[in-house]
Structure 1
Amino acid sequence: MDVSKIIIPGDTPGIEWRLPVLRFMGHDPKAPKTYIQAALHAGELPGTVLLHFLCERLRQAENQGGIAGDITIVPHANPIGAAQSHFGELQGRFDLGSRTNFNRDFPLISIADRATLVEDLNDYPATDRLKRQLLHMALGADLVIDLHCDDESLQYAYIDEAFWPEAADLAAALDMEAVLLSDGESSAFEEAVGFAWKYEIPGERQSRPPGKLSVTVELRGKRDVDPVLAKKDAEGLWRFLATRGIVNDGRPLATAFSGPAVPLDNVEIVRAPEGGAVLFHCNIGERIMQGDLLATIVTRPGQPGGSIDLTAPQDGLILTRRSDRLVRRRGDLMKIACSSPSKASRRAGALEN
């Protein structure tokens, strides 16, 4: 295993960040190249511990000549966000300086322009330099996996429709309980990777880039940083790499993905009509019917009519739930994966900021 560090100078004197990059060199130039990163949202750590255990397995395989395709791993992709706390709370999702989501505003370029990502880096602020270098590394691979987690959540993934159903082997290997099929219209990391491949020829869009995969995996919730789960997920990711011929393990047969795969338009996001204390009546993983009581918002405690009941807009699977029990007006409470489109309008791109 080769360990290197990318140095990111700060925007003020005396500050710099170090980004460790782990590389395993493959022996087969025809095997797919893989890039995996975790904790782009700096406080989302299930992927970081997954990669810790996966690298143990990869080092053993490397010593035995068992790595066919090059593998690049960035276990904690956002040292800038990891250093940003506000009154003792980590602010790893949004950059405190620009207020921008660390997983938005990645450059949308053609793969033909990959080299331009790291030209004149000093012209950009530190967060943009980080994003450009992460994207540059990823575009040197064929398979790109961005490991995240939700708040309270099942295991699921965002996969561009351009890579489905070919990516079902990854969903099965990681025992995902749902897949959300995205439209590829945001500037998030995995969609910026897909954009570059789809526009290999600038101005000409490929609908299905051959031999490519870019995916965001949501590894349950923020509190699911657990050695048993991390080892289980590391084993699942190993199986995926073996199935794709990237590591040598007898090319195990891929298992079938049995969960729902629904477009983003079919995701109901339940929001609070007023602020208050949240009482949930349903948990993640439950299948609910239209009209079922989902949550109660206590808006005026102790007063007559001081609460609001929220019911399910249609049948579906509760995918995520917020962990904070104090909600602001229009705050997100749940995501529900459904078989029919939501009546709520949705702009193209990501579900949430």
Structure 2
Amino acid sequence: MARQTERHPLISEAPGTQRTVIFHRYGAGTPGKKAYIQAALHADETPAMAAAHHLLQKLEDADKKGLIKGEIVVVPYANPIGLDQFSSDVLLGRLHTGGEGNFNRSWYDLTEMTKDRLQGRLGKDAAENVDIIRSAMQEAINEVVPVSEFDSLRKLLVGEAAKADFVFDLHCDDDSLPYLYISSLNWPDCQDFAADFGSYAVMMAENSGGNSFDEVYTRPWAELGRLYPDHPIPQATMSMTVELRGRPDVSDEIGAKDATALFNFLVRRGLVEGSAPPLPKALCDATGTNACEIITSPGAGFVTYCLELGSVVKKGQQIATLIDPTAEDPTEARTPICAGTDGIFFTAKQHKAVKPGMVVAKVAGTVALKDGLLLED
């Protein structure tokens, strides 16, 4: 079954211009499971595009051999708006420069959009209820009327991903080891991918706040289950944000390695025929996203680090130093930056110049530290 490549135009916001998004679809119409994999919703996170590129090479080979047994949609770049946001040769793809904020925040609330449509439609069969809910989700999405280019991008991506059993949103951090954000509803079901991917941290929450893309597809099943307790509603979608190290970590070798982990997952779930290799030993267990300490700079200057990424730290242990080049007394220019929890130091800052409140490190701990919005913006 040949690959289908689709070009989806977005709303044009300037005369003579129109951006498009490409979907590569394998196994179109195949009964069974469906996977949706998108790269670089934060458009400056190039490792995601490298992983998608190498995954497509593997899927091309599998498709030619007739090994595709489910439907697999790969979006090699999910955000052409952000890809066009260069300033002085620097790509600024995390925030919408037109004022619509973080590209990975404020996505649809499919529970709210769907719940009233399910009145009188659900039954006693869990599998049938999944189909009914997915149909209701599509009805709601189809009724959205985009009024901006970004609105049309939201509708396009959610409309496709909401049909999938498995959703992978590929990202990266600044300077980082590989890690995952997942729903607590999907653990330990995704433990095999975490091990194969070599994740140094797996952070889970049912609702981390901010309506990030991956949670659009996991939250409704539990939330609708609580709204309709007399009807069996399983956790029908596994979705995760995959953080592919740091922005500079782009190479054919790394991209191929990450693509192999994704491909092995597709094999293990039966979307590609074959046998996956034995799983490596997991590097970590899952912990709550609310136990991840996001450490910010206490002032302006530049930072140096005294520990390597992957170091196990104790509360109060120094991770970095803030150096103030404007200090009148140079002997007082250094301020230690310390961990506030026990855990794994897994993210640092690539560019060392900082201002007050800028994120300089993350530590994946095990003790809850906060409530509400659990992610940095």
Structure 1 residue identity aligned to 2:164: A
Please, which runs of 5 or more residues in structure 1 have no aligned partner?
A: none
Structure 1 residue identity aligned to 2:139: A
Provide the rounded CA distance (Å) in 2 between the counterparts of 1:202 and 1:108: 16
Matched, 1:312 2:339: yes
- Greater share of residues in helix: 2
* Contact kept? 2:206, 2:219, Cα under 8 Å: no
User: Of 261, 274, 278, which residue of structure 2 is paired with 1:249?
Assistant: 274
Deviation sequence 1:55-110 (CA, Å, 0-9, x none): 11111111121011100010100001101123332120000112410011111023
| 1:131-146 alignment, distance < 5 Å | 131-146=154-169
Provide the rounded CA distance (Å) in 2 between the counterparts of 1:113 and 1:290: 45
* Contact kept? 1:301, 1:307, Cα under 8 Å: no
Provide the rounded CA distance (Å) in 2 between the counterparts of 1:269 and 1:167: 24
SS at match of 2:95: coil
- Structure-1 residue corresponding to 2:125: none
SS at match of 1:240: helix
SS at match of 2:10: strand
Matched, 1:165 2:188: yes
* Contact kept? 1:106, 1:132, Cα under 8 Å: no
Structure 2 residue identity aligned to 1:33: K
CA drift at 1:182: 2.1
CA drift at 1:351: 1.5
Aligned identity (percent) is: 31
- Structure-1 residue corresponding to 2:294: 269
* Contact kept? 2:222, 2:235, Cα under 8 Å: no
| 1:203-282 alignment, distance < 5 Å | 203-204=227-228, 209-250=234-275, 254-282=279-307
- Structure-2 residue corresponding to 1:298: 323
- Structure-2 residue corresponding to 1:180: 203
* Contact kept? 1:244, 1:251, Cα under 8 Å: no
CA drift at 1:254: 4.8
CA drift at 1:292: 2.1
* Contact kept? 2:185, 2:235, Cα under 8 Å: no
Structure 2 residue identity aligned to 1:158: Y
* Contact kept? 1:242, 1:252, Cα under 8 Å: no
* Contact kept? 1:118, 1:133, Cα under 8 Å: no
Gap change, CA 1:282 and 1:200, over 3 Å in 2: same
- Structure-2 residue corresponding to 1:85: 86
SS at match of 1:235: helix
Provide the rounded CA distance (Å) in 2 between the counterparts of 1:276 and 1:229: 32
| 1:12-27 alignment, distance < 5 Å | 12-25=14-27
| 1:54-203 alignment, distance < 5 Å | 54-109=55-110, 110=114, 111=134, 112-119=136-143, 121=145, 123-186=146-209, 187-200=211-224, 203=227
Gap change, CA 1:313 and 1:208, over 3 Å in 2: farther
CA drift at 1:282: 1.5
* Contact kept? 1:269, 1:336, Cα under 8 Å: yes
- Structure-2 residue corresponding to 1:10: 12
User: Of 323, 337, 340, which residue of structure 1 is paired with 2:364?
Assistant: 337
SS at match of 1:16: coil
Deviation sequence 1:126-150 (CA, Å, 0-9, x none): 1111012101100111100000000
Provide the rounded CA distance (Å) in 2 between the counterparts of 1:300 and 1:250: 57
Q: Output the TM-score relative to the length of structure 2.
A: 0.86
CA drift at 1:315: 2.3
Gap change, CA 1:207 and 1:98, over 3 Å in 2: farther
Provide the rounded CA distance (Å) in 2 between the counterparts of 1:139 and 1:220: 27
Gap change, CA 1:19 and 1:312, over 3 Å in 2: same
Greater displacement, 321-330 / 16-25: 321-330
CA drift at 1:166: 0.7
Please, which runs of 5 or more residues in structure 2 have no aligned partner?
A: 115-133
Greater displacement, 209-218 / 135-144: 209-218
- Structure-2 residue corresponding to 1:348: 372
Provide the rounded CA distance (Å) in 1 between the counterparts of 2:265 and 2:175: 25
SS at match of 1:333: strand
In angstroms, what is the RMSD of aligned CA positions?
A: 2.2
Greater displacement, 322-331 / 16-25: 322-331
Gap change, CA 1:283 and 1:254, over 3 Å in 2: closer
- Size of the alignment, in residue pairs? 348
Gap change, CA 1:207 and 1:320, over 3 Å in 2: farther
SS at match of 1:145: strand
* Contact kept? 1:184, 1:194, Cα under 8 Å: no
CA drift at 1:114: 2.3
* Contact kept? 2:4, 2:28, Cα under 8 Å: no
Deviation sequence 1:272-310 (CA, Å, 0-9, x none): 111111121122111122332211111244532222112
Provide the rounded CA distance (Å) in 2 between the counterparts of 1:306 and 1:86: 32
